[in-house]
Structure 1
């Protein structure tokens, strides 16, 4: 049904144009008839005048004017014939034939114009001779001759304007160009399919999927040739702007239609200097993939097509201007604007990685940008891109050089109340390891090197990133030692140092950061775990077994009674000391599972065997020997005591049921803690 409606509309348009053409042809036929009669009459009169003037000097002027006049007449007949053929033809039936007729008609018009100019000069010479010479005594019909010369000049000027008139509304050239515009539009629309968006753009970029064809053809070759031929016709008549406006409109629509396959609403998001980049970080990787698709595939396609259609017919700046308008109207500036949005957020550690992501995306497209946007018409895009890169480089530099100082500032804050691994520590170590990763370290070094070259500074040296990361970790170690001294309970400080040393030795082993710090550094922290575990056990639970010392001499006459009282007191004292110590340490945490199990086993080995032996030996004396009431003094069985000790130091569950132990770099960076690690904001909440 749509095809029938389209055909009906096309027939109505064609019928209307045919009616207009028929009217124009009728008018042209009448004009030709009149001009033919006038020419015959003029030719006869001029010949007659020439014969009468043969004896006068005017005959030479008339003789020189006759050949150009005759040429004008012959050329006009050709123009009329070609015009009739052109009016009867249609571009959609045979474009090559139509373009050939149009070219020949255009050439004939130009020849007619130039010949009329020559003929006018000679006839004006005749008129000037008549105006300046008194020949009344020889020619009785001089007024008639003067009138004929004037009429000839008017007719030649009218014929000279034929070319201009043909370009006016409903003129032959005007109608022809209208047909070509229609044909140009149809060729663009009917042979174009929007570029398919690859499925990889809807994923994180790691999954396999179809990818965009690196070099698709925007249009079939024969269509490109037809478009070039039409453009050539428009260019010859200084009408190029007409097909360029059509081309820009249609191709922009095609690009926009292709982009509709992507959800680009995020490009309109905004940030202030007080907003965290975390609010839009989920879109940054997506932005990089989308920008690559737009530049390397969509706009690359338009760049090549503009060159194919316009490149050989017009000056480079003209077709480059055509491409520039398509790029601008398709929304390339929205991508640049989103990059600027990332730079506007507040300075925070997480922002450093996002700026590096932006720089890497732009750097990967640097050659493509320089090539397709390198022309003068794309100067606006060039300027905006350079400004974005400058903001990214400066922002990266500022954040990087404040990282170590910000770690040091946290030395004044308090350590975790449960002795667990500080959030700042997990963040800094994983953040540092990520900086050393092959995905970021080369990019960061490149950015720092660029910044140094811009400002003629000596801040960049080889290995700078590694040096600064090393300094940041050493600053963190000083924080740990300072925090450990702030615990009022010495045993808790040992737990804290066990946690932190275990984390550094175990979680950094085999990582980029661990390799940077060195094997001896890791071994040192591994030994510190054992060292502080021994101090912890001796300084807290190591005192408990002494309360059940059964080697004391019982000095009394009635040894049995005295022994029962002593046993009860010892068990009661053990219970009180155990309960107090267990209650005090019940909220303490050992973050590493193996360290937690090993520490609990050491406590069990120190307490349970002594308790078991004592109870086996003296349980019969508790509460009066044979009929004891052990519940009054004996609160714990050996099994319950062991279960309690092995359940200690468990991490607390978070709101979502997961423990507070960190998971990985990306997870840590994406939480609120990462956002608080900011060179411009207070970081105390990192440790809360």
Structure 2
């Protein structure tokens, strides 16, 4: 029976009419009815009280100056164990006596003695907590637990025998700091066990809470977590906002692995004797700090800021919670800590929604891009650079994105041009939703680029613009994690599209040059016909060269491929025509250069000089030579 219940029983017994104030029976016949067993019990009780009185009164701070300034658990460990044993024996004896004679004066005496003992243990409990504050910090407790834990491997907090085994199993491997921590934890547990069994759990828990609550609060504060409102966040500049998120990301790691983890271990160990006490105690200690920690991402997700940088911070926060979810569920596994788990889950949900919203905003930004400035030379548009850079960066969070977009469904085909849809978005129903989402965003980009390409007055430049931009997209896909989200089939389809664009460019830009030469370059023709062919070729080549000289192809592979393609089509035909008819004008034709302006080697040099853009030619001598040819006309 709890000691508080015993107190009321004793008071009722003292007031009962059949008992005297002294507690002896008022009727003589009562004493004559005592059995030998009753006498034996009283004798054992008296011995227990006598033994308890000796040690308890020795450590009574109200009557002993030595007891006021000395710690029982620090001065003599064996005497501390004896003190606890006497208190436990006294409690058992009182429990037996109250069932036989609840009005006994000895019971009142024992109760007073018990109160003195509990006052001493409260002082010892507080002293151990205070003096070992550094050794009982969550980090030290976590470190000690990682070496000496006897918990189940499936759960850090599943009970598998008394935690006292942890101390014995630690052996010589623990450091001096960890040894002090282990001893302090063992002492705290022994005191808590004693106070709980004697009905003083409330007093014990109160002391523990006021000592440990400040440690968690201080830890949260030092980690940079503070109360803040959504309106305050909206008013912050990005650099301040960014620093706070970085602090939070670090705080989650430390709090899960050290702060709350260590505090849960300590609380479980000290209050091992009672599941309900350790649950309520840890819940009260951790509720405020943990809720503050896990509510922060929800506030960030609700902010109106839609900067591109926000996406990456939101993904980092989502990753931080999801990666520590198992620890969150283990540390806060109690029913009373379920609000903390719910807060962490709500933050995950809000971050999930924020990622969907931010990516939708990004898609809208692509669609609404109204830039009408043509990229010089048909190069890569800034929109393409920004989009591919953004997508390649967010796919560093591939696993998280797969989880976030698990239920994403692509819009109806009708919202985008049909010809683009089939080649850009796979119909494979087994593809992850995030793969379809990324493919859709690229499709939106390609459609926007198609609109921009039509602004070029030259058809060849339009196709080169499309080829350049699509080649850049494919190159970024291959060089980033995008390649794992977009299949090889997707890449192959878009590479084929690039080849189609380049073929159209070559046809429009160089078709006239190739058409200026005879179909059969080695066929016999007259000198005049040869002259006319050379004139047409010179004119068409110079015109094409100077038009294409300002064109740019940033991707080296595409640049080399197009040069090789043009050269392979043009140079062999020209070489055959040159070798067959270049020297057929006769010796009287002293100014042969008026008709034959280019040797095959010179032609090859001019072609190799292309696609570096204005002012960035690969061979400046080729351009200068062609100017001289043109000036002599």
Q: TM-score range by the shorter chain?
A: 0.5 to 0.7
2-structure distance, mates of 1:601, 1:517: 25
Matches within 5 A, 1:477-626: 477-503=446-472, 508=477, 512-517=485-490, 519-538=492-511, 578=542, 587-599=550-562
Task: Tell me the residue number matched to 1:444.
Answer: 404
Q: Deviations over 1:373-419 (max 9, x none)?
A: 23344355234323312211222333455665554444885553431
Hey, what does 1:559 align to over in structure 2? none
Paired residues of 1:420 and 1:588 also in contact (CA < 8 A): yes
The DSSP-based 3-state class of the residue aligned with 1:295 is: helix
| CA-CA distance at 1:424 after TM superposition | 2.9
- The 1:372/1:178 distance shift into structure 2, 3 A limit, reads same
Q: TM-score, normalised by structure 2?
A: 0.58
Counterparts of residues 119-198 of structure 1 (less than 5 Å): 160=108, 163=111, 174-175=119-120, 177-186=122-131, 189-190=134-135, 194-195=139-140
Structure 1 pair 617–365 and aligned structure 2 pair: CA distance change class (3 A): same
Q: Does 1:374 align with 2:374?
A: no
Distance 2:93 2:247 in 1: 60
For the pair shown, the structure with the greater C-alpha radius of gyration is 1
User: 1:498 offset after TM fit, Å?
Assistant: 3.2
In 1, Cα distance between the equivalents of 2:239 and 2:549? Answer: 36
CA deviation string 1:458-493 (max 9, x = no partner): xxx864444444444444333333222211233322
Task: Check the 8 A contact 1:306/1:319 in 2, yes or no.
Answer: yes
Which of 345, 349, 354 pairs up with 1:390? 349
Q: Name the residue aligned to 1:41.
A: none
What displacement does 1:356 show? 4.3
Deviation digits for residues 144-166 of structure 1, max 9, x if unmatched?
xxxxxxxxxxxx79x95895698
- The 1:185/1:404 distance shift into structure 2, 3 A limit, reads closer
Distance between the aligned counterparts of 1:653 and 1:250, measured in 2? 68
Determine which structure has greater relative contact order: mean sequence separation of CA pairs < 8 Å that are 6+ residues apart, divided by chain length: 1
Q: Distance in 2 between matches of 1:334 and 1:94?
A: 42
Partner of residue 245, structure 1: 209
1: CA distance, partners of 2:236 / 2:206:
47
Post-superposition offset of 1:231? 1.2
The alignment of Structure 1 onto Structure 2 pairs a total of residues equal to 504
Query: Which consecutive unaligned segments of at least 5 residues does structure 2 have?
Result: 1-21, 61-65, 144-155, 158-165, 171-177, 410-428, 519-525, 617-633
Identify if the C-alpha distance between structure 1 residues 393 and 163 changes in structure 2 by more than 3 Å, giving closer, same or farther: same
Are 1:421 and 1:496, in contact at CA under 8 Å, matched by a contact in 2? Answer: yes
Looking at structure 1, the residues matched to 278 and 216 of structure 2 have their Cα atoms a distance apart, in angstroms, of 15
Uncovered stretches (5+) of structure 1, i.e. residues with no partner: 1-45, 51-58, 123-155, 199-213, 450-460, 555-562, 655-688
| TM-score after normalising by structure 1 | 0.54
Distance 2:56 2:464 in 1: 101
> Contact between 1:311 and 1:319, CA under 8 Å: does it hold in 2?
yes
Asked if 2 retains the 8 angstrom alpha-carbon contact of 1:588 and 1:649, the reply is yes
Mapped partners of 2:529, 2:54: distance in 1: 142
Q: Per-residue displacement from partner, 1:502-536 (whole Å, max 9, x unpaired)?
A: 44666656664253536455334324323322322
Distance change in 2, residues 1:272/1:493 (3 Å): farther
Report the equivalent of 1:363.
Answer: 322
